[in-house]
Amino acid sequence: MKIPHIHIPIVRIPYSPQVELYIKREDLIHPEISGNKYWKLFYNIQAYIAENKATPMLITFGGAYSNHIAAVAALGRDLGLPTAGIIRGEEVADLWADNPTLSKAHNDGMELCFVSRTEYRDKEKLSRGFAERFPDALILPEGGTNPLAVKGIRHMLDRRTKDFDYLCSAVGTGGTVAGLATYAEEGQKVIGFKVVNDPDTETRILSFTGRKNFTLKEAWGRGYGKITDELLRYTESFEEQYGVPLDPIYTGKMMMHLTALIDRGYFPVGSRILAFHTGGLQGKAGIEAMLQKKKKSLINLP
């Protein structure tokens, strides 16, 4: 992996005259390893390749629509490394061929291994088992969050991001916000929009960064992977108005809650706010197709 020599656009979103709102299109960094995934993998892969293992392999964890699984499969294909994805939910094994994320990962050469939700919960134990069987493998945690991933997030910040008052990101495992908090300028405030109702997120972020310059907001709505009509209407109209596509699991929920905070006057007048588009568009078409098929106003992703 290289530091791409592309100029990531920062686009103005003329949402409200009260504040200056911008989105950094980190999703454009790579067609398949998009947004924060690129940076979370960057130093992990660099360090692993330098180890020059005899039988290299990438193993990681995720749900049926995981952006991280999609990114690791594409990366393994590009680097010529075997990959294995440990997928949450045995029932998904019957559905994977219709699931765009998993069928693409399979076509990229990833071996899919489906485990029950109970087994999946104890990822430490699963990891230990895989480490014993494949001692040369790089085992990446769910969402790719570890100290090297946090270090990679530094590259989402540059000269242009320095004079924003607020830096915003969706939060899953917390690695991205930990990186933004670590490398933010003095006085910049980081806001993380949690899409997972996990009481340990703040502690986990603090374990990666010594700085308490971040605030977490609850943006999970009806829950992780729960997509309502209201949210889909929001993402559609956002794309129509501002030309920026959002995914319904991370960036859609972040922007819906961020613009609601602007409406409520949370930010002082004139604030400069930068939201990071962390990618996640790969699963969007499949999710929308599922919604069409079910004709329901709320779907639960497996």
Site size with ligand PLP, rule: CB under 6 A: 18
Should residue 85 be labelled a site residue for ligand PLP when binding is judged by CB under 6 A? no
Should residue 170 be labelled a site residue for ligand PLP when binding is judged by CB under 6 A? yes
125-164: contacts with ligand PLP (CB under 6 A): 143, 145
For ligand PLP, the binding residue among 85, 175, 225, 248 (CB under 6 A) is 175
Q: Are 105 and 69 in contact (CB under 8 A)?
A: yes
Beta carbon nearer to ligand PLP, 176 or 209: 176
Residue 55: CB minimum distance to ligand PLP, A: 27
Should residue 280 be labelled a site residue for ligand PLP when binding is judged by CB under 6 A? yes
Binding marks (x or -) toward ligand PLP, 25..54, rule CB under 6 A?
----------xx------------------
Should residue 176 be labelled a site residue for ligand PLP when binding is judged by CB under 6 A? yes
Residue 135: CB minimum distance to ligand PLP, A: 27
Beta carbon nearer to ligand PLP, 173 or 209: 173
Residue 57: CB minimum distance to ligand PLP, A: 21
Should residue 171 be labelled a site residue for ligand PLP when binding is judged by CB under 6 A? yes
Site for ligand PLP, rule CB under 6 A: 35-36, 67-68, 143, 145, 170-176, 247, 250, 278-280
